[in-house]
């Protein structure tokens, strides 16, 4: 969910801390991605650009952006799965 949709004042302090910790963990996983995939993730999710806009900005075909995004999401999901497994241990 984009940060601008969340009313921070309406979130309980413990929930806000948990949300920040989750964001930190996800950022940590994203930071382990190869540069090309990490860049696409940032442009799509942080800059809120459409696939076509990212492709134009990076001067690559839209299919390349879709592929990078697909593999980046898979790597983030695998990293997240590992984090939750370690957290439960």
pLDDT exceeds cutoff 80 at 10:
no
Per-domain residue ranges for the chain?
28-88
Name the CA radius of gyration of the chain, rounded: 15
The model's pLDDT over 18-46, given as tens digits with 9 standing for 90+, comes to 778 888 888 889 999 999 999 999 999 99
Task: State residue 9's pLDDT score.
Answer: 63
Which of 1.25.40.10, 3.40.50.300, 3.40.50.620, 1.10.10.10 is the CATH number of 28-88?
1.10.10.10
Structure tokens belonging to residue 36? 């090309």
**Residue 86 — pLDDT band, cuts 50, 70, 90?**
confident
54/64 Cα distance (integer angstroms): 10
Task: State residue 53's pLDDT score.
Answer: 97
For tokens 């964001």, name the residue.
23
41/65 Cα distance (integer angstroms): 10
Residue 24 sits at the vertex; the CA angle it makes with 63 and 87, to the nearest 5 degrees, is: 105
């Amino acid at each position: 969910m984009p940060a601008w949709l969340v009313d921070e004042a309406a979130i309980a302090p413990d929930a806000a801390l948990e949300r920040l910790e989750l964001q930190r963990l996800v950022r940590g996983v994203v930071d382990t991605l190869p540069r090309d995939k990490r860049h696409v993730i940032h442009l799509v999710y942080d800059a809120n650009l459409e696939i076509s806009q990212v492709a134009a900005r990076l001067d690559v075909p839209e299919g390349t952006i879709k592929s990078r995004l697909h593999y980046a999401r898979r790597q983030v999901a695998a990293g997240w799965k590992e984090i939750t497994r370690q957290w439960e241990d």
